[in-house]
């Protein structure tokens, strides 16, 4: 069952987010130069790290899909990339706010991390249009996986290229957690953990919703007792194997006595 | 494998020679773009960063024209089906197409680089030609590998003309970064120097990684 553990995961996420926000606002010391504004760092950087990891994970799941030809891996890869895109939008927005506050501009070209992130975002923004432009579900999932693997490999390479292009001009603003004082490092680690949990929970919610919808469709078809003749609207989201959804639905139906 | 690639390559070149639908268009586009840059920037001559940027952007966009057309005949006129029916390795098509695209790019640059030197470039190319050729060659290999993969990815979608460039532009950005940064010291008026080694290394690394990725993934795009 896909909904299993969802409640525990959600509660853990809410608790972790609460603790993380509590630490950010009441425990972490104010940074000497930027003051209160610097606290956006505890949201912005975890969002960015989780989004990038999600993109790479999407690529790894896509490799699994290409190896096994199992549509469920494609679904996982799709959900991972979909959620990462949303987190990436959050990263760009919080990054812009931070840049405006500390450098006075909404966008700064000499910060290599920011620029590489934008490039990665622009690349992944074509993932959904690519899926949407292919009608045949099998080919759609195949091509999407090829894209996900290519783009997943592109993420680290792009960071190398952009970092090199300005490495000698601009030192890094944040050199990782090692240079942070203890209280800040702790807050950052907890925030990172909380955002990662949020990502996992949202992914699980989306997976559960997609599977539930497939089951409902299969059940409705059984109730009406005829083959599904209504055409499925074209969509960028992957389709689950009808057989898997039907057997799962049938099992549920048997248990609940429909 | 080698015979298959040779046969496919011969077919591609024959098709291009008979239809002339890619290379002349790409070259003409590049020359026209230089004229557009002259008016858009209101400059009679450029040098340094600006020159390198104009050269690489023009080459990239011209390459995208070729990438967009690379598989169109195969998708529309049954080239894929014919190839899939033949008992040969599928990667042969990737190699043949990438070599074709590489050939197109070389011809494009044979036209575009002299035209650029003639129309826009301030400093004369003379002594820095080997460095420029080296950079262009490394860039071309990367464009050919990624371009072939992207072209195959986009050609059987309903929005192929749109998706090709949309996918290719961000994926090829490291080539533009590396190419432009490596070329700009060659094109300065004051003291032209050779291309910095770290940029050539970046380009080489990119070529290697994406060459392998394209080789590993291309087979999946041909399945039906």
- What whole-number distance in Å separates Cα of residue B113 and Cα of residue B118? 9
* Band of residue A168 on the pLDDT scale cut at 50, 70, 90: very low
Give the model's pLDDT for residue B149: 94
Closest Cα of chain B to A208: distance in Å?
A: 28
pLDDT digits (tens, 9 = 90+) for A94-126: 988 888 888 888 888 777 778 888 999 999 999
pLDDT digits (tens, 9 = 90+) for A54-83: 999 999 999 999 999 888 899 999 999 999
DSSP string, A36-53: GGGGGHHHHHHHHHHHHH
Give the model's pLDDT for residue A67: 92
Give percent of chain A with pLDDT exceeding 90. 41
B167, B180, B218, best to mutate vs chain A, most A CBs in 10 Å: B167
Give the model's pLDDT for residue A253: 53
Q: Print the domain residue range for B218.
A: 2-222
Give the model's pLDDT for residue A257: 45
CB proximity A145 to B under 8 Å: yes
User: How many residues does this entry show for chain A?
Assistant: 258
- Residue A134: list chain B partners with CB under 8 A: 156-158
- What whole-number distance in Å separates Cα of residue A69 and Cα of residue A62? 10
- Count of structural domains within chain B: 1
pLDDT reading at B182 higher than 80: yes
Inter-chain residue contact A161 with B174, CB threshold 8 Å: yes
Inter-chain residue contact A122 with B170, CB threshold 8 Å: yes
pLDDT reading at B192 higher than 80: no
- Which residues contact residue B168 at a Cβ distance below 8 angstroms, ignoring those fewer than 6 apart? B64, B67, B146, B147, B150
Are B182 and B195 in contact by the 8 Å Cβ rule? The answer is: yes
Three-state secondary-structure class, residue B46: strand
pLDDT reading at B122 higher than 50: yes
Helix axis angle for A71-103 and A182-224, nearest 10°, is 140
Complex ipTM value: 0.89
CB proximity A146 to B under 8 Å: yes
Q: Where are chain A's structural domains?
A: 6-256
pLDDT reading at B48 higher than 90: no
B146, B171, B179, B218, best to mutate vs chain A, most A CBs in 10 Å: B171
CB proximity A63 to B under 8 Å: no
């Amino acid at each position: 069952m896909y909904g299993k553990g969802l409640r525990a995961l959600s509660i853990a996420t809410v608790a972790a987010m609460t603790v993380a926000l509590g630490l950010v606002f009441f425990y972490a010391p104010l940074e000497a130069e930027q003051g209160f504004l610097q606290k956006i760092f505890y949201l912005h950087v975890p969002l960015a790290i989780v989004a990038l990891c999600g993109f790479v994970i999407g690529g790894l799941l896509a490799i699994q899909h290409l190896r096994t030809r199992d549509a469920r891996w494609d679904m996982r890869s799709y959900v991972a990339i979909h959620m990462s895109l949303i987190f990436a939008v959050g990263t760009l927005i919080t990054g812009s706010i931070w840049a405006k506050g500390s450098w006075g501009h909404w966008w700064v070209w000499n910060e290599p991390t920011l620029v590489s992130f934008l490039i990665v975002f622009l690349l992944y923004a074509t993932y959904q249009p690519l899926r949407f432009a292919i009608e045949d579900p099998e080919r759609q999932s195949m091509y999407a996986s090829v894209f996900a693997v290519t783009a997943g490999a592109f993420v680290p390479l792009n960071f190398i290229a952009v970092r090199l292009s300005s490495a000698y001009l601009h030192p890094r603003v944040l050199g990782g957690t090692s240079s942070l004082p203890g209280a800040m490092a702790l807050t950052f680690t907890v925030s990172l953990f909380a955002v990662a949990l949020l990502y996992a929970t949202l992914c699980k919610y989306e997976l559960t919703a997609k599977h539930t919808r497939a089951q409902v469709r299969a059940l409705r078809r059984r109730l009406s007792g005829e083959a599904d003749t209504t055409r499925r609207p074209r969509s960028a989201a992957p389709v689950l194997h009808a057989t898997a959804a039907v057997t799962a639905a049938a099992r549920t139906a048997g248990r609940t006595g429909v | 494998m080698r015979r298959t690639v040779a046969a496919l390559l011969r077919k591609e070149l024959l098709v291009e020679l008979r239809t002339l639908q890619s290379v002349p268009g790409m070259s003409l586009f590049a020359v026209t773009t230089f004229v557009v840059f002259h008016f858009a920037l209101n400059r009679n001559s450029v040098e340094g960063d600006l020159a390198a940027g104009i050269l690489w952007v023009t080459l990239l966009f011209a390459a995208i024209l070729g990438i967009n057309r690379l598989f169109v005949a195969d998708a529309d006129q049954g080239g894929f089906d014919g190839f899939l029916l033949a008992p040969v390795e599928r990667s042969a098509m990737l190699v043949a197409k990438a070599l074709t695209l590489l050939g197109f790019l070389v011809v494009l640059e044979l036209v575009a680089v002299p035209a650029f030197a003639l129309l826009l470039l301030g400093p004369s190319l003379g002594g820095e030609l080997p460095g420029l050729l080296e950079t262009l060659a490394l860039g071309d290999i990367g464009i050919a590998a990624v371009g072939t993969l992207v072209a195959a990815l986009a050609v059987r979608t309903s929005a192929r003309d749109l998706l090709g460039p949309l996918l290719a532009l961000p994926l090829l950005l490291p080539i533009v970064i590396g190419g432009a940064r490596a070329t700009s010291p060659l094109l300065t008026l004051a003291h032209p120097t050779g291309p910095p080694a770290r940029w050539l290394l970046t380009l080489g690394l990119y070529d290697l990684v994406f060459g392998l990725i394209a080789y590993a993934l291309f087979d999946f795009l041909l399945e039906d």
